[in-house]
Amino acid sequence: GAVVSQHPSWVICKSGTSVKIECRSLDFQATTMFWYRQFPKQSLMLMATSNEGSKATYEQGVEKDKFLINHASLTLSTLTVTSAHPEDSSFYICSAGRLEETQYFGPGTRLLVL
Amino acid sequence: AQRVTQPEKLLSVFKGAPVELKCNYSYSGSPELFWYVQYSRQRLQLLLRHISRESIKGFTADLNKGETSFHLKKPFAQEEDSAMYYCALTRRPGRRALTFGSGTRLQVQP
């Protein structure tokens, strides 16, 4: 099956710094990728839809200036958490898929903001 | 707006016992329903989808539009089935972003 990778797998940063998370589709091209956020013992919540070559579509309540998404190529989407604060600490997961097929999930990135 | 409800946070059964993980949804259109599974320290992976009408690892799920349910069933649980199970839906046709339920942890005891 298709493989989606994320980097880094975990990151610890100081409050006020920015953190970039990469999501790559390793063996297929993805015109659309999705970014989810998962709090401890909670479900995955869709944050935004990343569209190759155009602006991301954000879900209601997600600050687009806080969570910058760039989908510069068909195999790479990046999520940048700008001026991170402790409340941004979470597990961030991306997914990608070919056209109308099943979504494949990355392993997730655990962010801890001190 | 669409919503997925999994009423049980934890389901504990003994090996060989039947399993039913409940999932109800609300959506005014015609959604596509999925079950995803997450084994310990592994990524989320698709278990099955309603349009496939297939059985994976002995699990089946039938979409009941009247009851708006998509319960996951297995007649005889195995220890290796222990995992976190998420029910999810996506609007069809078109948008493939998933709306997830809160998940049910299945523990199969020896």
Question: For B45-63, what is each residue's pLDDT tens digit?
Answer: 999 988 887 788 999 998 9
Of A42, A46, A105, the CB nearest to B102: A42
Res B94: pLDDT: 60
- Report CB contact under 8 Å: B99, A46: yes
Could you give the CA distance from residue B72 to residue B21 in angstroms, rounded to a whole number? 5
pLDDT value at A34 more than 90? yes
Q: What are phi and psi of B81, to 5 degrees?
A: -80, -10
Using CA coordinates, name the residue in chain B closest to A31: B96
Closest residue in chain A to residue B105, using alpha carbons only: A41
Count Cα atoms within 13 angstroms, Cβ side, for B87: 31
Is A93's Cβ below 8 Å from some Cβ in B? yes
Q: Which amino acid is at B40?
A: S
pLDDT at site A72? 82
Q: Which residues of A touch B99 (CB under 8 A)?
A: 46
Dihedral, A59, A73, A20, A109 alpha carbons, nearest 10: 70
pLDDT given for residue A101 in this prediction: 67
What's the rounded mean pLDDT across residues A11-25?
Answer: 96
Helix (H/G/I), strand (E/B), else coil: A87: helix
The pLDDT > 90 percentage for chain B reads 70
Is A11 touching B (CB cutoff 8 A)? no
> Looking at residue B2, what is its pLDDT?
84
Task: Label residue A107 left, alpha or beta by phi (over 0 means left) and psi (-120 to 50 means alpha).
Answer: alpha
Distance of CA A13 to the CA centre of its chain: 17
**Are the C-beta atoms of residues A78 and A20 closer than 8 Å to each other?**
yes
Q: At A85, is the secondary structure helix, strand, or coil?
A: coil
| Percentage of chain B lying above the pLDDT 70 cut | 96
Q: What is the C-alpha separation between B35 and B88, in angstroms, rounded? A: 6
Residue B40 clears pLDDT 70, i.e. is over it? yes
| Cβ pair A102:B93 closer than 8 A | no
Q: Do B44 and A93 touch (CB under 8 A)?
A: yes
Span B79-99, pLDDT tens digits? 999 999 999 998 766 667 899
Write out chain B in H/E/C secondary structure. CCEEECCCCEEEEECCCCEEECCEEECCCCEEEEEEEECCCCCCEEEEECCCCCCECCEEECCECCCCECCEEECCCCHHHCEEEEEEEEECCCCCCCEECCCEEEEEEC
Higher pLDDT, A53 or B35: B35
Asked if A105 reaches chain B (Cβ–Cβ under 8 Å), the answer is yes
pLDDT of residue B50: 86
